[in-house]
Amino acid sequence: MSNIAIRVENLSKQYKIGARGLRYNSLREQLMDNLKSIFHRNGSTDQAESTIWALRDVSFEVKKGEIVGIIGRNGAGKSTLLKILSRITKPTAGSAEIFGRVGSLLEVGTGFSRELTGRENIYLSGAILGMKKAEITRKFDEIVSFSEVENFIDTSVKHFSSGMYLRLAFAVAAHLEPEILLVDEVLAVGDASFQKKCLGKMEEVHKGGRTVFFVSHNMAAITSLCTLGFLIDGGRLVLSGSPHSLVEEYLSSVRNCASIPVSERKDRRGNGRIRFTNVSILNNRLEAVEHATSGQDIYISLEYDMGNYRKLENVIIQISFAGVFGQPLFACLSRVAKDGVLRLTPGARILCHIPRLPLLPGTYTFNIWCKVAETMEDWVADAGKLSVAEGDYFGTGKLTTNVVGDFLVINEWSVQ
């Protein structure tokens, strides 16, 4: 009997840029689409400009009982791979053989019927997996207890919060005894206690001899939980092996990428009415600095090019920071800040002020993006680095040697 859980050979997936996602069309829309295809059938199109390869010639074998951690930058093709393995998306070329029943949690909103109650969706999901009603009933109480939605189990899931939906979806995927469990970064939207609970459940699934595929930016979870790692970059599987060695390679590539000037970065997304051209860290005198210190006032300076535009209104900027293991830390979002509605003109620069930098010593990376009227104009991952040195954050002259974590927090003590 074969010990292989998944065998993938030369797997490729191509998307048309701007193509609509899978949905159910009305008869009128279907007729219009058919007419468009007739008129464009003989037209000349530039394939290089109208398509993108999300995956290209990916091949691997995974044995039963492995926990596979899949890492890579945003847009590398990780989620596309899991969608193909889940049979949600068809590959353009190549094959993926699955030897066993698959349970998957890829994104909130996938897998449940919104009009059905939580109870009905549990039984529906089990039936889709080929389970008998008695088998589902045996697992029902355990699923509901894990998901912590007991009081709402007979409510239509369209009334669930995203957190409730996620907890129930994961509980169903993990408890209905799939031989292969596929979990995407969706766990990042849960709270810390729920994430810990999910990681424990995945380890339990693994100890039961079943296979887990786990996509995450949480490098600590990848190294502690996984037995095998895949590093995907640009749609290709570039490395496989020890999770520790792959995480080190990935983090090194992130730091190297963050050292490349933004003006030279080609791996960016967006419509392009605005393009970031320079990123720098400034002190409170607006002078460029190589590093900051804990407790220091800093500014993130973003210079940009607007092409032929003379003015752009309703601009939203976000700078999101990640820790030494790539874990998300916090984001500065102009839309929710005071005076955060931005109006851009040529020749200016954008300044984001962070008072009393609350980070412990270390090297952090950050992503930047810009939207105009909710349309993404420029998005650059790992656009820059922020090196933080020890500083007198508390104003006591004492260092933070025994402080754990990533953040410093003002705290006052008394005995009453």
pLDDT at 218: 80
Terminal alpha carbon distance of the chain: 70
pTM over 0.75: no
Residue 385 has φ and ψ, to the nearest 5°, of -120, 150
Mean pLDDT, consecutive 10-residue stretches, the chain (416 aa), reads 87 75 47 55 48 91 93 86 89 92 69 86 82 88 90 91 82 82 71 77 84 86 90 92 91 86 90 94 93 94 94 93 83 86 91 94 92 91 91 84 80 91
What the chain holds in terms of domains, given with CATH numbers, is: 4-255 (3.40.50.300), 265-389 (2.70.50.60)
Distance CA 292, CA 359 (A): 10
Biggest CA–CA distance in the chain, Å, is 83
pLDDT at 73: 81
Consecutive H or E run containing 307 = none
Which residue(s) pair with 269 in the sheet? 379
Distance CA 54, CA 145 (A): 38
Which residue(s) pair with 180 in the sheet? 102, 211
pLDDT at 23: 44
Please, are residues 206 and 67 in contact by the beta-carbon 8 Å criterion? yes
| Burial per residue of 112-139, b for 16 or more beta-carbon CB atoms within 10 angstroms, e otherwise | beeeebbbbbbbbbbeebebeeeebeeb
**DSSP characters for 14-47?**
EEETTPPPS-PPPHHHHHHHHHHHHHHHTS---H
Q: What count of other Cβ atoms lies within 10 Å of the Cβ of residue 343?
A: 10
- CB contact set of 198 (below 8 Å; sequence gap of 6+): 170, 174, 183, 187, 190
Give ∠ CA 82-85-88 in degrees, rounded to 5: 85
- CB contact set of 259 (below 8 Å; sequence gap of 6+): 385
For residue 92, CA distances in Å to 13, 47, 56, 251 come to: 5, 15, 10, 31
pLDDT at 24: 42
